[in-house]
Amino acid sequence: MSHSQPARDESAWHRPMIARLADEQHRTATMLELFFDLCFVTAVAQAATAFEHELAEGRIGHGVLGYAMVFFAIWWAWMNFTWFASAYDTDDVPYRLLTLVQITGALVLAAGATEAVQRQDFTVITWGYVIMRLAMVAQWLRAARADPERRRSCLRYAVGILVVQVGWVVRLALPEGSGLATFAVLVVAEIAVPVWAERAAVTTWHPHHIAERYGLFTLIVLGESITAATGAVHASLDTHAALGDLAALVVGGILTVFALWWLYFAQNAPQRLTTLRVALLWGYGHYFVFASAAAVGAGLALNVAHATGHGHLSDHAAAAAYTVPVAVFIALVWLLHHPTPVRPDTADIVHPVAAVAILAATFTPSPVLVTGVLATLLIAAKLSLSARGTTKAGTAQAPRTSP
> Is the pLDDT confidence value at 398 over 60?
no
- The parent domain of residue 166 ranges over 31-205
Predicted TM-score (pTM) of the model is 0.88
Which stretch of DSSP H or E encloses residue 335? Answer: helix 315-337
pLDDT over threshold 90, residue 358: yes
CA distances for 135 relative to 38, 79, 95, angstroms: 19, 14, 10
CATH number for the domain harbouring residue 297: 1.20.1410
Query: Average of pLDDT values for 136-150?
Result: 95
pLDDT per position as a tens digit, 97-125 = 999 999 999 999 999 999 999 988 999 99
Give the whole-angstrom CA distance, residue 179 versus residue 189: 15
The answer to whether residue 3 sits within a structural domain is no
End of a domain among 205, 234, 265? Answer: 205
Among residues 344, 349, 357, the alpha carbon closest in space to that of 382 is found at 349
Handedness of CA 290, 293, 299, 305 (dihedral sign): negative
Task: Based on the fold, state whether residues 257 and 116 are members of the same structural domain.
Answer: no
Tell me the CA distances in angstroms from 23 to 86, 105, 208, 225, one per residue in order: 11, 32, 9, 34
Q: Are 294 and 78 in contact (CB under 8 A)?
A: no
Average pLDDT of the residues in 197-212: 93
Whether 401 maps to a domain, the answer reads: no
Same domain for 153 and 88: yes
- Provide the domain count of the chain: 2
Give the torsion through C-alpha atoms of 111, 117, 123, 129, to 10 deg.
60
Say if residue 346 is in the same domain as residue 234: yes
Average pLDDT over residues 8-29: 79
Using only C-alpha atoms, the chain has a radius of gyration, in whole angstroms, of 23
- First-last CA distance in the chain: 57
Q: Are 229 and 182 part of one and the same domain? A: no
Tell me, yes or no, whether 82 lies in a domain.
yes
* Percent of the chain residues past pLDDT 70, beyond the cut: 88
